[in-house]
Chains A and B, each alone.
Chain A
Amino acid sequence: GAVVSQHPSWVICKSGTSVKIECRSLDFQATTMFWYRQFPKQSLMLMATSNEGSKATYEQGVEKDKFLINHASLTLSTLTVTSAHPEDSSFYICSARDRDRGDEQYFGPGTRLTVT
C-alpha cells in the first residue's frame, strides 16, 4: 500500500510553454502533498507544501506564479511550470502524507523535465 504515482515520467517542452505534472496517491488519502526539485547529484529541495482545498505554501525563493500548485482532491495534486525556461529543467518529485500513518511521506517516482 501507500503508492504515489506521477505523470508524466518525463517530458520535453519548448521554452515559453507550460507543462503540468500530476501527482496521485493511489491507495490512500493524502491531506498533504509536497513538491521537491532535485538537481543532478544533489539533494531534494522542497518547493512547496500543499494541503487539500487550500493554497500551497511556497518555500523562500520559489516563485509561486511560475510554479502553480493545485491540490484539488485528497488524491491529486498538480504542479504547472509556466513559461518554462531551460533553467527549469530538473527532476521534480512529489510526496504525499497519509493522515492515518503519522509522519511518513510516500514519494512518487519523479518527473524529468527538459526545456529546450
Chain B
Amino acid sequence: GDSVTQMEGPVTLSEEAFLTINCTYTATGYPSLFWYVQYPGEGLQLLLKATKADDKGSNKGFEATYRKETTSFHLEKGSVQVSDSAVYFCALTYSGTASKLTFGTGTRLQVTL
C-alpha cells in the first residue's frame, strides 16, 4: 500500500537558519503530494502542494519539489522564524471523489531566538 515517511523530530533551529524536512513516499500510482502545517492547538492547514512530477509547490517562503525519480517531496525554507514553530505533515492522495489522504507521522519544528 501507499505510505509516507518523514524524518523524525523534533527539529530545533535558531531563527534565520535553513530548514529541510525530508519526506519520501511509496505509491502505486501517481499521487498528488502535500505539506500541511499544524500550529499548537489548531487543525491542519495546507501549506503547499504539487500534483505531478517536477512541480514545485511554494508558500510563505517554504518550497518543495515533487521528485518522482527519488520519490521525495522535501520541505525547505531559507530562513525560519519563531512563528514557523509547528508540526509539519507530508501527505499524498489520488484524484477521485473518494480520495483519502495518507499522512506521514509529522515532524515537530521548534525555532528559537
Contact = CB atoms under 8 A, between A and B. Distances in A.
A84 interface: no
Given A107-B43, A107-B44, A109-B42, A44 B98 contact: no
Nearest to B87: A41
A105 interface: yes
A25 to B, nearest CB: 13
A107 B32 CA distance: 17
Contacts of B104: 43
B66 to A, nearest CB: 13
Given A104-B46, A109-B42, A44 B97 contact: no
Interface residues of B, number: 23
B100 to A, nearest CB: 6
Per DSSP, chain A at the interface is: strand
B81 interface: no
Nearest to B4: A43
B85 interface: no
Q: With a 10 A CB-CB cut-off, give which of B51, B98, B101 has the most chain A CB atoms.
A: B101
A104 B49 contact: yes
A43 B101 contact: no
A95 B89 CA distance: 15
Contacts of A105: 93, 101
B95 A102 contact: yes
B76 to A, nearest CB: 21
A34 interface: yes
Interface string B41-75: 01111100101000000000000000000000000
Contacts of B100: 34, 46, 49
Given A42-B106, A44-B103, A93 B98 contact: no
8 contacts: A42-B105, A43-B103, A49-B98, A102-B95, A103-B32, A105-B93, A107-B45, A110-B43
